[in-house]
Amino acid sequence: MTMLGTVQPPDPTDGLMVTGLSLIIKASQSYVSHGALYIKNGKILGSGPEEEVLALAPNAKRVDGTGFVAIPGLINAHTHVAMSFFRGLGHGPVTSANGQTTMIEDLFYPVEKNLSADLIEPLSYSYLIDGLKSGVTCFVDSYSFSSSVARAMERLGLRGVVGEHIADLGGHLPSGRDVWLKTRARIEAWPHSSLITPMVYAHATDTMSPKLLSELGAFARASDLPFQMHLSQSRGERQRVLDREGLTPVKVAEAAGVLGPRCMAVHLVSTDADDVARLVGSGSLAVICPVSEIIYENLPPLKLFSDLGLQWSLGTDCAASNDTADLIQEMRFFRLFAKELGVPASRISPEAILRSVTEVPREVLGLNIGSLEAGREADCVFLKSDLGTEPIDELVVNLVHSFGSRHVRHVMIGGRWVLWDGQAILAKEEELSTAYLASVHEIKKRAGL
């Protein structure tokens, strides 16, 4: 029998049975210590105890996965993958006279004004590869020239939910209603593969007019698309919007009609109890990027979120404010940070943390991923256990606290191998690195960095 650790990835075309696995089918179920996965035509047709799954297709091609842990592909709920050229630059203090953080306005925007569509695809490679190697199979990404981001994802075989940056009252590049109309037309004649899903993205309440924000929200609802925006992402945004509208950012979003079950509200670091209650009442999902939020400003009021029942998912943001795309590491950090802030154990159990990067965001995104249940798309991550992860009594606990990106060996998306033995297999990493570094050099030259 072929071993899962062999040099060549086994061909899944006519069906593949992987046996001998430690298997996390979904966060809310106990793990299976001697499990199997049966994958065919891009879908999971069986998962569970080995003898039960073998009975489904006794003659299927078998691969021995002994020593491997299989988990659902992780969903990174908020990224700007093309911003990796900022890596390492977001750690110095960038503040105004009143002490508010102005990194976005004083560092990011001036540099980003030099971006062009030809640079975005290669600039995306670094963060996408980094995320893939930490078990991320789906990136929820928003940025300018988003079609170029989508092409980078397609080249690597990744799943993505992609939104074009829209902001008519400021921001790094002109992206008002004219850009929105072009974006809307592209969504209606979607040019990308089935791996890439469109999303409506509004930058933030301080860079969006209420009128255009309302127009984007109405289109997202009518088209049944996910909607994402930065919301109360800083004290500065909150104060600017209060000065301009007399309302908090959350109330502006509510008045514009964008809150709701398919709304992903990112950061929320400057919210109060009334804001949170409105988010809960609307069914909106909070997206927390803990490392980025600490580097940039501060964590949101997680205890308040928990007390009022706000549901959350996790993202890593971007290399400008979180130098790594390692979502496994982010899971552990979030659990520890939230514990320090007094969040009850039930909200931050390892199982709840895993749900926040699988089942929770998949419901808002409307994707058939996020677990290894039969009928789901075959987005699977195979991690190799070692001395640093043993003994395993509760696998989900070990996943969050003992495993890391170094344990991710193989990744399959939609039934196709995209990472094997820790290396991307649909594109040569040396070529990606050359293109990426050339684009980093070009944007820094244009910006005078």
Do both 151 and 49 map to the same domain?
no
State pTM to two decimals. Answer: 0.96
Name the helix (H) or strand (E) containing 434: helix 429-447
Q: Report pLDDT digits (tens) over 345-368.
A: 999 999 999 999 999 999 999 999
**Residue 304 · residue 72 · CB < 8 Å:** no
Partner residues linked to 264 by β-bridges: 228, 285
Tens of pLDDT, residue by residue over 45-55, are 999 999 999 99
Q: Is 93 helix (H, G, I), strand (E, B) or coil?
A: coil
Q: How confident is the model at residue 94 (pLDDT cuts 50, 70, 90)?
A: low
Most confident of 1-10, 81-90, 308-317: 308-317
Domain co-membership, 267 together with 385: no
CA torsion sign for 36, 388, 348, 326 is negative
Number of domains making up the chain: 2
Write down the mean pLDDT value for the chain.
Answer: 94
* pLDDT for 250 beyond 70: yes
Residue 294 falls inside a structural domain = yes
Give φ, ψ of 220 to 5 degrees: -60, -45
Residue 438 Cα distances to 245, 396, 441, 446, angstroms = 43, 40, 5, 12
Q: Are 254 and 382 in a shared domain? A: no
117, with CB counted inside 10 A (0-12, 13-18, 19+), is exposed
DSSP class of residue 11? P
CATH of the domain at 232: 3.20.20.140
- Return the exposure string of 168-194: e unless at least 16 CB atoms fall within 10 Å of the residue's CB, then b: bbbbbeebbeebbeebbeebeeeebee
Q: Which of residues 327, 345, 365 is at a domain's end?
A: 365
Assess whether pLDDT exceeds 80 at residue 89. no
* 28 plus 142 within the same structural domain: no
Domain containing 218 equals: 74-365
Same domain, 88 and 197: yes
Contacts of residue 294, defined as CB under 8 A and 6 or more positions apart, other chains included, come to 337
Amino acid occupying residue 188: E
Q: Are 25 and 163 part of one and the same domain?
A: no
Do 231 and 324 fall into the same domain? yes
Look at residue 202 and give its three-state secondary structure: strand
Instruction: Give the per-residue pLDDT at 93.
Output: 54
CA distance 53 to 40: 13
Mean pLDDT over 73-88 rounds to 93
Identity of the highest mean pLDDT range in 26-35, 100-109, 118-127:
118-127
* 107, 27: one domain: no
Q: Judge whether residue 257 has pLDDT over 80.
A: yes
pLDDT at residue 95, rounded to an integer: 55
For residue 92, pLDDT over 70 is answered with no
State the CATH number of the domain containing residue 16: 2.30.40.10
Residue 155 lies in a domain: yes
C-alpha to C-alpha distances, 247 to 141, 230, 240, 332, nearest whole angstrom: 28, 16, 10, 35
Residue that has been written with the tokens 């007019």 in this structure:
209
Count CA atoms closer than 13 A to 188's CA, side-chain side.
8
Mean local confidence (pLDDT), 369-397: 96
Asked if residue 149 and residue 55 are part of one domain, the reply reads: no
Instruction: Judge whether 272 lies within some domain.
Output: yes
For the chain, give the number of residues: 449
pLDDT, one tens digit per residue, over 189-201 is 999 999 999 999 9
Span of 6-15, 28-37, 44-53, 412-421 with lowest mean pLDDT = 6-15
Q: What was the pLDDT predicted at 296?
A: 85
Looking at the structure, do residues 66 and 138 belong to the same domain, yes or no? no
